[in-house]
Every structure is written in structure tokens, then in C-alpha cells.
């Protein structure tokens, strides 16, 4: 995707490199410069995001407003994820977004939907390739398009019982919602302890071995954890309530938020939305009351982030009440 966007002539010197023609390192290198943005540059994701939004701003008036809003609000660099209320709306959104991005030379393809009818409306060359009949990787998470659930599979080598091996496992885990934060916190504590005791990168674990083995056995069940891809609101809503929770201990502090939906018929649904857990540093030593205040701040940050994600229309129609609960 980055190759779709040109580098301004005045900035080409910032992306220069040496190239040995045909791999002959005994010859003199050729001084080259990139004319497009490249993979690996820290600036490329930001440039790509800006460029997509610029396309939406310049050409959005020609197409459905939903397409422009989709590009602005629901694209993460080159991946777009959103939900709509009907099959016809999905087909229209896909077609309009493809035409909108084509105005800027970008092709919107690798499309995936949990509706087979929507998939049938998309040309084969624009569909996402799926190795497994049900699982599709989106934004680093596996999405089961049949059950409409998100999965968090972990495939790692538990034989490398070192500081390096443990860090490698943690680096491979992508959990943007904090669903498995309690489990990951145990490993982060273990890694934190190894750093404090000045383990070298490849020193084998000693007293921590039992903790590590117990943690690994818990990981075997991580594949059973699933989360609904969307908050299901299928009836007339009376009230939306955000309930953030926060607590702390001597080893960590955490926060999470739940959405409570009260329908007009009196039925209530409660859905986990977002969580975050952090390890307490060894120095400086922080008191439990102070850690609880830090956790409360974290919970407010999560609630603020989630409040922005609730569509403005929903906030204005239903209202959104936020209540904070902190441990003592």
C-alpha cells in the first residue's frame, strides 16, 4: 500500500540507500533514492493514514457519506473493519468505498464478510483468500466468520526457558481488548522478576521454573477463549451505561469497562468492552492507595476512549451514563 503514495521531491534525500547491482558487493554501490514510501519506515503508516483520509476529503462528496465516514473512522492503515445493519447496506458500502479509494489510485480488495450473500456479490478477485473455511485474520486476531467470534490462538516454543524465550512469547501475543490480560500479567510479572534479578538473556530459569510451567499449562486453554466481534443491540434501547472498574495490588494495577444495555422491554445485556493490566515497577516503591489512584486514572482513560467509539447518534438518542468503581 505504501508504494501508492509518492515522496515529495524535497524529501527524497531522507530515503536514500546504497544498492549493489545484481548483488555484486565487490563493485561500487549505486546511490539510490525512494520515490515512494517504503515498508519499515516509521513515517509510512502515518503518511498512508493521512493519504486515505485526504482521498475521502477530496472525493467523498461524490459517493455515499457512509463510505467517507468508514475511511475516516474505521481504517487502521490499510485494514478497514466495520459493521452495518443489513446486507444491502454492506454491499453498498463496499462498492462505494472501492470507487472512492480508486479516485486516489488505491484498490480496496481482500474483502471478507460473515454474510455469504455479501461475499457472493463481490468479484472473486476482490475477496480475501482464506486457508481455513471459517477463520480469517483481521488486525492480528483470528475472526471466525461463521460464529462471528474473535479468537486468540497462541503458537509458541515453551522449551526456551530463558528471559529471551519468555519475552519472545509475550511479543507474539496481540490482545487489543485486554481479554487475556490476567493471564499475560502472570508472565509479565515473571519477566519483571527475572530482569530485577539480573538474568542474562539466555540464562536458564531456576526458581521460576514452576511458575513458568504453570503459566504454560494455562496457555493451552487460550484457544477456548472467544469474544463476540460486535455489541449486539437488536431491540429498542432505553439506556446505555458504561461501567469502568479499577483496582490495584502490590504487583499490578488494572482497569476494565463493561457496557450495560437496558432495553425498553426491561431486558438487560452486559458486555465486556476493554481492559488493561500493568505491572508495578520495583522502584520507586508505590503505596497501595497511590496505585489505586493510578488504576482509577487508567479506567477513566479507557472509558473516555470507549465513549468516543460509541456513535454520536447513539449517544444523543439513548444517552450514555458513565459510572466508575474503584477497589479499596
Q: Which pLDDT tens digit goes with each residue over 186-243?
A: 999 999 989 988 899 999 888 767 788 888 888 777 878 888 888 877 778 888 888 9
Q: Percent of the chain beyond pLDDT 70?
A: 93
| Domains recognised in the chain with CATH numbers | 1-129 (no CATH), 231-326 (3.10.20)
Provide the H-helix boundaries in 29-129.
44-59, 65-74, 87-102, 116-120
- Intervals of the chain under pLDDT 70: 132-133, 139, 208, 311-325, 327-328
pTM reported for the whole predicted model:
0.76
What separation in angstroms does the CA of 199 have from each of 172, 212, 278? Answer: 21, 15, 21
**What is the reported pLDDT for 93?**
96
Record the cell numbers describing residue 15, joined without a space. 530515503
Residue appearing with cell numbers 446505555: 240
Q: Which pLDDT tens digit goes with each residue over 271-295?
A: 899 999 999 988 888 999 999 999 9
**What is the reported pLDDT for 9?**
86
Amino acid at each position: 500500500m505504501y508504494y501508492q503514495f509518492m515522496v515529495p521531491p524535497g524529501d527524497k534525500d531522507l530515503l536514500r540507500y546504497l544498492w549493489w547491482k545484481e548483488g555484486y558487493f565487490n563493485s561500487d554501490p549505486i546511490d539510490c533514492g525512494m520515490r515512494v514510501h517504503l515498508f519499515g519506515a516509521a513515517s509510512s503508516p502515518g503518511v498512508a493514514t493521512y493519504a486515505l483520509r485526504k482521498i475521502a476529503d477530496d472525493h467523498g462528496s461524490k459517493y455515499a457519506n457512509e463510505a467517507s465516514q468508514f475511511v475516516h473512522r474505521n481504517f487502521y492503515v490499510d485494514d478497514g473493519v466495520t459493521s452495518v445493519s443489513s446486507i444491502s447496506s454492506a454491499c453498498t458500502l463496499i462498492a462505494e468505498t472501492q470507487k472512492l479509494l480508486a479516485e486516489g489510485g488505491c484498490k480496496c480488495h481482500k474483502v471478507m464478510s460473515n454474510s455469504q450473500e455479501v461475499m457472493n456479490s463481490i468479484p472473486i478477485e476482490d475477496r480475501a483468500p482464506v486457508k481455513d473455511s471459517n477463520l480469517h485474520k483481521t488486525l492480528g486476531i483470528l475472526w471466525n466468520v461463521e460464529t462471528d467470534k474473535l479468537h486468540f490462538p497462541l503458537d509458541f516454543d515453551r522449551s526456551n526457558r530463558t528471559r529471551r524465550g519468555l519475552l519472545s512469547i509475550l511479543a507474539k501475543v496481540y490482545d487489543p481488548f485486554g481479554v487475556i490480560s490476567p493471564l499475560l500479567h502472570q508472565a509479565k510479572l515473571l519477566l519483571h522478576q527475572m530482569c530485577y534479578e539480573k538474568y542474562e538473556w539466555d540464562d536458564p530459569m531456576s526458581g521460576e521454573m514452576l511458575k513458568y510451567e504453570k503459566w504454560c499449562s494455562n496457555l493451552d486453554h487460550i484457544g477456548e477463549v472467544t469474544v463476540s466481534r460486535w455489541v449486539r443491540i437488536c431491540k429498542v434501547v432505553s439506556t446505555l451505561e458504561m461501567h469502568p472498574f479499577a483496582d490495584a495490588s502490590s504487583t499490578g494495577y488494572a482497569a476494565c469497562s463493561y457496557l450495560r444495555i437496558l432495553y425498553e422491554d426491561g431486558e438487560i445485556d452486559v458486555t465486556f468492552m476493554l481492559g488493561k493490566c500493568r505491572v508495578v515497577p520495583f522502584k520507586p516503591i508505590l503505596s497501595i492507595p497511590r496505585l489505586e489512584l493510578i488504576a482509577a486514572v487508567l479506567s477513566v482513560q479507557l472509558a473516555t476512549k470507549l465513549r468516543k467509539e460509541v456513535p454520536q447518534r447513539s449517544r444523543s438518542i439513548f444517552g450514555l451514563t458513565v459510572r466508575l468503581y474503584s477497589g479499596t
